[in-house]
Structure 1
Amino acid sequence: MTGDRYSHLPKPSARGRWAAPTAEGPLRATITVPGSKSLTNRELILAALADGPGRLASPLHSDDSARMITALRTLGVGIDRSPGTGRYGDDLVVTPVWPLQGATEVDCGQAGTVMRFVAGLAGFARGDVTLTAHESALHRPMGTMIKALRDVGVDIDDGGHWSLPFIVRGHGHVRGGEVVVDASASSQFVSGLLLAAPRFDVGLHLIHRGARLPSMPHIDMTIESLAHRGVHVERPAPGEWVVPAGAVRAKDVAIEPDLSNAAPFLAAAMIAGGSISVTGWPAHSTQPGAMLTEILSLMGARAVRRGGSLTVTAGNGIAGVDLDLSAAGELTPTLVALAAFADAPSTFYGIGHIRGHETDRIAALVSELRARGGEAQELPDGIRIVPRALTGGTWRSHHDHRLATTGALIGLAVPGIEIDDIGTTAKTLPEFPELWQAMLDGAPDDGAHSQPLHDLVS
């Protein structure tokens, strides 16, 4: 792990079972999390399309960002490490090439952003680009992206399957124009098209027609990232975007901390008692994790931003809630862990799209809670949790980093929880086991905060 604050901590094995530690008392710790995965991969794409070299300061170094870096290097983009001032490793210096290089294969691993964003770039290559993924991710929706790219002039051979793997027969440019999509399965379809659009010959007029569009903050993030590089995206109507053809300005960009990766640490204070602070919390952010201050307050915590840090302090218990999480579906696994210890049932809805992530997150969360004695119900567009006493045992990660961190949260109050593969957290937070232990090893609390919820543990 880069940086000296946690260098004394033992390194976890890359894969394998992990005994989730139980909190022995209220917590008091300050945590710094690495950069945002969503911002890192968006800025890597834009830097690759820019009109000159640029630097990404404090990027995330994880499995997902490594997949993006490898993909762009495979397409001929120069990406070099440069010493940075952040705790979590080097900065990245990106040197674009044009056109991109073809006659290559891109392995997207489990990274949805790589699948959807690099697919949008592959038409700019001269020659064939084969996109594939880890076998556990081949189920992830791609049909909408394939259709949209064909509509803007990209030549794609998918063997008629509308899924990965497929071949993009790049011609060094993409026509662009008007395209209608149903992006209700993932906002990444919209973001992938918007990111590539300035380099289309005639720009892009994108219209979403379909069910509710999930994760709107991620689309706002894409639009804001484009604006910082001189690309103005017009929004003539809800679900409609117009991107003019033009240059993407080269810039040096600092990456915000990943607020969704901070979520389990902040939630830990509510389960174990005490308070947790996360440093570098931005005053303004398009990340869905920015909604945590409001959501955790609704669930009974006190959330205060002061001096650039967000501090969450436990209240007298955890409140059951009914919440529309369509804008922040990635927070669902953390909030489900809180709901398991609440004073009343909770329902989270507007999250049908999270069935198409690394796993069907709704089904997986219900399965794991029931296996540990909990009561949970799948809904067509959500999940309902009824607090029940939980017992120790195996918590399966389902190849999903957010399922693994949910298990760690449950383990704070339930002795004997073992996560089958803690290595899944390397997808977005390789340092998770060390940071989690550092949080538990923080200075002793003064006892002024609420106590762990042992009454819901059998």
Structure 2
Amino acid sequence: MTECTAQTDPWPAPTAPGAVDAVVHVPGSKSVTNRALVLAALAAEPGWVRRPLRSRDTLLMAEALRAMGVQIDETVNPGGGEAWRVIPAGLRGAARVDVGNAGTVMRFLPPVAALADGPVRFEGDARAAERPLHGVIDALRTLGARIDDEGRGALPLTVHGAGSLAGGAVDVDASSSSQFVSALLLSGPRFNKGLELRHTGRTLPSLPHIRMTVDMLRKAGARVDSPQDGGTANVWRVATGALLGRDLTVEPDLSNAAPFLAAALVTGGRVTVPDWPRRTTQPGDALREVFTRMGGTCELTDRGLTLTGSGRVLPLTADLSEVGELAPVIAAVAALADGESVLSGIAHLRLHETDRLAALAAELNSLGGDVTETGDGLRVRPRPLRGGVFHTYEDHRLATAAAVLGLVVPGVLVENVATTGKTLPDFPDLWTGMLAGPAGKRG
């Protein structure tokens, strides 16, 4: 676990005056936005990304692609919201990319850089250099790329683009991040021989994100064989071919809906998230099942998803391997349940923005909780909680988890709540607007 950032002006997490009753418009999906930008940049014709998420991670992705010669024009939709026009061009080198601490940028773009005409330098935040990147680096070398990383298997590094990449067959151990698979699949149609990727590890976390990648590739015209569709186990094949320029409207970020739906659950209230898709590859859709098991009631209508709390929070025993990004908020809710919860299948969270398992255990326990790490997760035994500083370790999902606790635990102070800008801009305003009741509903 990385060290805490210096505590400056911690945000007092507001306590709910009663049962929450609100409509919350959640901004667009980071995962969809960044995949859409990569696919549009690699397409054979211009495309649109409508209602994209504007956050640190997506702006880093857009700026990185611009540095490599892609034109991204920001306009406004006739019906409201932003629209980004993406005009692909010959990818140029002699570029420098700041990945921040964005896993999608640091992993999705080295394969793109291998197709550029010249070197592309990748750098980022201090934590980014601690996050695993070896799966992408080793695979690209096998596929014909030249990369200088001084043997680190991590940032900083330079990809020496040659204008094309041979491609072909490659083995990848993606046990530490499904993004290794998605990164290579996204650029696979542009490789001379396409791509045949075999996952060799024992586990593969966050499968819904790989399904999202496959679905978006197919909608962009790529031919993809996937094990989830009856293909060979642990093998993905992408045929070489041109990608289409799409006109894509980004769905709301369902994972970022987690703290708002949790607010309904822990206060016995009701929250509606408009435009919740009836069919989606987003892992956040699992919130409907998870929060129902924890005592809520979900109703999905043409208006959106409404979650209603019962006034009681039930404990949860669950394998969260496919939805690990939901674990911080789920752990916070579990700390308020009326029995012990066991969250498993999330050992890979130790390699995210911070060591999320260690951080959650440390911070929940600092407020009086009883949380222990297991080999692949957390055991949460509810105890009466008290106020105090909840450190976020530069991790947006730690900050939103702390806000959930603050609804029912007076005196929770969230260190560096601004870190939520990574994927959820204006979170404090959205949060206080939700608590303002019908007069404060966000439109």
- With the shorter chain as reference, the TM-score category is over 0.9
Deviation at 1:16, TM superposition (A): 4.6
> What TM-score do you get using the length of structure 2 for normalisation?
0.95
Q: Judge conservation of contact 2:267–2:311 (CA < 8 Å) in 1.
A: no
- Partner residue, 2:402: 407
Tell me the residue number matched to 1:8.
none
Give the SS at the match of 1:26. Answer: coil
Q: Which blocks of at least 5 consecutive residues in structure 2 are unaligned?
A: 1-7
* Greater CA drift, 326-335 or 15-24: 15-24
1:183-212 CA deviation, whole Å, 9 max, x = no partner?
Answer: 010000000000000000010000001121
Q: Which residue of 2 aligns with 1:49?
A: 42
* 1:139-160, Cα deviation, whole Å (9 max, x unpaired): 0101111101101111101111
Q: Is the 8 A contact 2:265 2:311 kept in 1?
A: no
1:332-353 residue CA offsets vs partner (Å, 9 max, x unmatched):
0110011001111001101011
Residue 272 of structure 1: aligned partner: 267
Equivalents in 1 of 2:383, 2:105: separation in Å?
39
Which residue, 364, 371, 386 being the options, matches 2:381? Answer: 386
Amino acid paired to 2:240: A
Deviation of the 1:137 alpha carbon: 1.8
Q: What's the counterpart of residue 258 of structure 1?
A: 253
Which of 87, 91, 100 is residue 95 of structure 1 equivalent to?
A: 87
Q: CA deviation at 1:42?
A: 0.1
Q: Distance in 2 between matches of 1:213 and 1:86?
A: 40
Q: Give matches, 1:105-254, under 5 Å.
A: 105-235=96-226, 236-254=231-249
Q: Which amino acid aligns with 2:205?
A: P
Deviation at 1:85, TM superposition (A): 4.9
Q: Structure 1 residue aligned with 2:335, among 334, 340, 352?
A: 340
Query: Which secondary structure state, in structure 1, belongs to the residue aligned with residue 205 of structure 2?
Result: coil
Q: How far apart are the structure 1 equivalents of 2:67 and 2:135?
A: 25
Counterparts of 1:53 and 1:17 in 2: how far apart (Å)? 44
1:74: Cα distance to partner?
0.3
Aligned counterparts of 2:282 and 2:420: Cα–Cα separation in 1: 19
Measure the CA separation in 2 of the matches of 1:71 and 1:339.
39
What's the CA shift for 1:308? Answer: 3.5
User: Hey, what's the Cα distance between the residues in 2 that align with 1:428 and 1:308?
Assistant: 24
CA–CA distance in 2 between the matches of 1:268 and 1:349?
23
The one-letter amino acid paired with 1:93 is R
Greater Cα shift, 327-336 or 302-311: 302-311
The offset of 1:162, in angstroms, is: 1.3
Amino acid at match of 1:314: G
Distance 1:137 1:86, change over 3 A: farther
Of the structure 1 ranges 231-240 and 381-390, higher mean CA displacement relative to structure 2 is found in 231-240
Task: Tell me the equivalent position of 2:61.
Answer: 68
> How far did 1:316 drift?
3.9
Change (3 A) 1:281 1:368: same
Counterpart of 1:19?
A: 12
Deviations 1:231-256 (A, max 9, x none): 12112222110100000011110100
| AA of the residue aligned to 1:145 | V
Asked whether the 8 Å contact 2:266–2:336 carries over to 1, the reply is yes
1:29 equivalent in alignment to 2:49: no
* Residues 299-336 of structure 1, C-alpha deviations (whole Å, 9 max, x = no match): 11001101231000011411111100001000001100
- Give the secondary-structure state (helix, strand or coil) at the position aligned to 1:391: coil
Q: Report the TM-score, using the length of structure 1 for normalisation.
A: 0.92
Distance (Å, rounded) in 2 between the aligned partners of 1:79 and 1:17: 36
Structure 1 pair 308–175 and aligned structure 2 pair: CA distance change class (3 A): farther
Maintained 8 Å contact 1:58/1:86: no
Please say if residues 266 and 311 of structure 2, whose CA atoms lie closer than 8 Å, have aligned partners that are also in contact.
Answer: no
Per the alignment, in what secondary structure is the counterpart of residue 100 of structure 2? coil
Over aligned residues, Cα RMSD in angstroms?
1.2
For residue 290 of structure 2, what is the aligned residue in structure 1? 295
Give the 3 Å change call, closer, same or farther, for CA 20–58 of structure 1 in structure 2.
same
Residues 68-107 of structure 1, C-alpha deviations (whole Å, 9 max, x = no match): 00000000000010112566x4210000012x11011101
Q: CA deviation at 1:368?
A: 0.1
**Distance in 2 (alpha carbons) for counterparts of 1:137 and 1:234:** 32
Q: Is the 8 A contact 1:116 1:188 kept in 2?
A: yes
Q: Which amino acid aligns with 2:16?
A: A
Instruction: Measure the CA separation in 1 of the matches of 2:177 and 2:292.
Output: 28
Aligned residues: percent identity? 48
Distance 1:122 1:24 in 2: 51
Which blocks of at least 5 consecutive residues in structure 1 are unaligned? 1-14, 445-458
Partner deviation per Cα, 1:98-149 (whole Å, 9 max, x = no partner): 2x11011101001000000001101111111111111122101011111011
| SS in structure 2 of the partner of residue 385 of structure 1 | strand
SS class of match (2:130): coil
Equivalent in the alignment of 2:71: 78
Determine the C-alpha separation between the residues in 1 that align with 2:214 and 2:182: 8
Contact 1:16 1:422 in 2 (8 A): no
Q: What is the distance in 1 between the residues matched to 2:111 and 2:255? A: 25
Distance (Å, rounded) in 2 between the aligned partners of 1:433 and 1:361:
22
Give the count of matched residue pairs. Answer: 429
For residue 407 of structure 2, give the secondary structure of its aligned residue in structure 1.
helix
SS at match of 1:138: helix
